[in-house]
Amino acid sequence: MSNISSDKIVDTVARLCVEANYFLGKDMLQAFKNCIEKEESETGRDILNQLLRNAEIAEKEQVPLCQDCGFAVVFLELGTEVCIDGSIVDAINEGVRKGYTEGYLRKSILADPVKGKNTGDNTPAIIHTTFVPGDKIKITVAPKGGGSENMSEVKMMKPADGIEGVKDFVIDRVLRSSSNPCPPTVVGVGIGGTFEYVAFLAKKALLRNIGDRNQDPFYADVERELLQRINDLGIGPMGLGGRTTSLDVFIETHPRHIASFPVAVNINCHVARHKSAVI
Amino acid sequence: MSESIKITPPISDDVIMKLKIGDRVLISGKILTGRDSAHKRLYDLIQAGKSLPVDIEGQIIYYVGPAPAKPGYVIGSAGPTTSYRMDPYAPLLMEHGLKGMIGKGVRSQIVRDAMKQFKAVYFAATGGAGALIAKNIKSARIVAYEDLGPEAIRELEVEDFPVIVANDAFGGDLYQEGAKKYRR
Ligand code: SF4
């Protein structure tokens, strides 16, 4: 058994909210650089260069990369031998409140989906918990912007649609999204499980770093093929035409019911934020 | 690609007619901000035959809801928001003199037709480049609807704000043309 104080959780979540919004991952910066070399469109190269400069400014001046500082999506890997002095949910929300307020991050959450009213502190967080062996907690904060989230979709496909059906659905979803999710994007795909779980898989896929392939060579090949096909759509940076539409495609899978074939596409923008800590 | 074209509002029809899709433009001077709620209010006022709290004649509206300013800064990160949400309101504003819109993402056919009819232009700014764009903003003050918080209408003084003409007054659409050109 290990004891973890709720204060420690509050501080860690607050720090991760701020760091995720200020500091873009090195993998993303490298991906921008690689794409600038390959991009055929001058407008496209211009935009990719702007994204690099934007990340430099955000890091140096400690300001958010994008004004949409996202919904605070928190992934918890909770060790079963951990003991916490209080409510972990309260601690996480307190951390979000602290991070978004002290970090000058934009608060974008409405208390009621229909009746509105901004909660004023970007709470509540969306929390996904998995239990793991051990006496530690791994916390990942992945703030998610609205523009790209709005271009996501879940589809209950027919088992007969198979992998080709999945590919066509992903391509169609990206094509219909066009410029809206702020390309170059990162595309998360969930296959299998149930209606709600497949959406979680697609979101979880977005936590990978650029270039991290699925362990299963079959899905790794599908990821590569989808990335090629997406970039052949010509949508380009900010949708203004070019060869860089997505930086990577990540697939996560789960066993499914014999009668069901759920597929989900969760699109992330080039401000692909996720920061983790183990406490 | 040619050099950047520099413009300063208020924008005349002559300037509008010189802008073509794909042109790089640097905007300096005063522009207005507005997004969903502010647009709805302006739209409702025009519909009711009332006067607007801001003059939109010849002006440019930037679709943005900035992050809060850190101490010592005039504004927080301030990149464009998705424009299609303003589509229901944009044609009426153009009819009443609005000449330019800055945002991100494709516009509806109705909005594109209105740009042709009323001689207006839609500029694409780089979505997600909020920290960079904030550098081009020299001052910001709320001019209407303070109660809307980040959605209030602000007057921004900008210097060389970099945008690209995405839709011109001739019906051109860079989203369609660009994708066609680089499709394989
Ligand atoms: S989609 Fe992403 S980059 Fe674009 S405005 Fe939203 S959070 Fe920012």
Taking only the tens place, the pLDDT of each residue in A128-153 is 999 999 999 999 999 999 999 999 99
- Closest residue by Cα to atom 3, ligand 1, is B128
Dump pLDDT digits (tens) for A180-220. 999 999 999 999 999 999 999 999 999 999 999 999 999 99
CA dihedral (A78, A80, A85, A90) positive or negative: positive
Given this model, what pLDDT does residue B90 score? 97
Burial of A162 (C-beta count, 10 Å sphere; 0-12/13-18/19+): exposed
Q: How far is A74 from chain B (nearest CA, A)?
A: 21
Cβ–ligand 1 distance for A239 under 6 Å, the answer no
Q: For CA atoms A83, A88, A92, A95, give the dihedral sign.
A: negative
pLDDT at residue number A144: 97
Task: Give residue A243's pLDDT.
Answer: 96
What sections of B86-155 are H helices per DSSP? 90-95, 109-118, 130-134
Q: Is the CB of B162 under 6 A from ligand 1?
A: no
Q: B131 vs A150: CB contact, 8 Å cut-off?
A: no
Q: Where are the domains of chain B?
A: 5-182
pLDDT at A43 over 90: yes
Whether the CB-CB separation of B171 and B17 falls below 8 Å is answered with: no
Chain B contact for A238, CB < 8 A?
Answer: yes
| Mean pLDDT over the full length of chain A | 96
| pLDDT value of position A16 | 98
> What per-residue confidence (pLDDT) applies to B3?
83
Residues of chain B with pLDDT under 70: 1-2
Predicted local distance difference test score (pLDDT) of residue B96: 96
The DSSP code sequence of A15-80 is HHHHHHHH---HHHHHHHHHHHHH---HHHHHHHHHHHHHHHHHHHHT--SSS---EEEEEEEEET
Give me the residue from B70, B128, B135 closest to A66, CB to CB.
Answer: B128
Q: In sequence order, what are the beta bridge partners of B7?
A: B27
- Cβ(A244)–Cβ(A102) below 8 Å: no
The mean per-residue pLDDT over the stretch A39-60 comes to 96
pLDDT at residue A163 greater than cutoff 70: yes
Q: What is the fold, at CATH topology level, of the domain defined by B5-182? A: fumarase (3.20.130)
- Are B184 and A242 in contact (CB < 8 Å)? no
The pTM (predicted TM-score) of the whole model is 0.94
From B82, B130, B149, residue closest to A118, measured CB to CB: B149
- What residues of B are in contact with residue A235 (Cβ under 8 Å)? 179
| Pocket-testing residue among A21, A47, A271, ligand 1, by greatest number of atoms within 8 A of Cβ | A271
The verdict on A48 touching B (C-beta cutoff 8 Å) is no
Contacts of A66 in chain B (CB under 8 A): 77, 79, 127-131
pLDDT at A24: 97
Query: CA-to-CA distance for B106 and B121, rounded, in angstroms?
Result: 13
Centroid of ligand 1 to alpha carbon of A68 (angstroms): 6
Residue A180: which of B65, B78, B82 has the nearest Cβ?
Answer: B82
Protein residue with least CA distance to atom 7, ligand 1: A145
**CA-based nearest distance A278→chain B, Å:** 29
Question: A196: exposed, middle or buried (C-beta count within 10 Å: 0-12, 13-18, 19+)?
Answer: exposed
Q: Can you give the pLDDT at residue B2?
A: 61
The structure tokens listed for A159 are 């088992």
Inspect the interface and report whether the beta carbons of B132 and A46 lie closer than 8 Å.
no
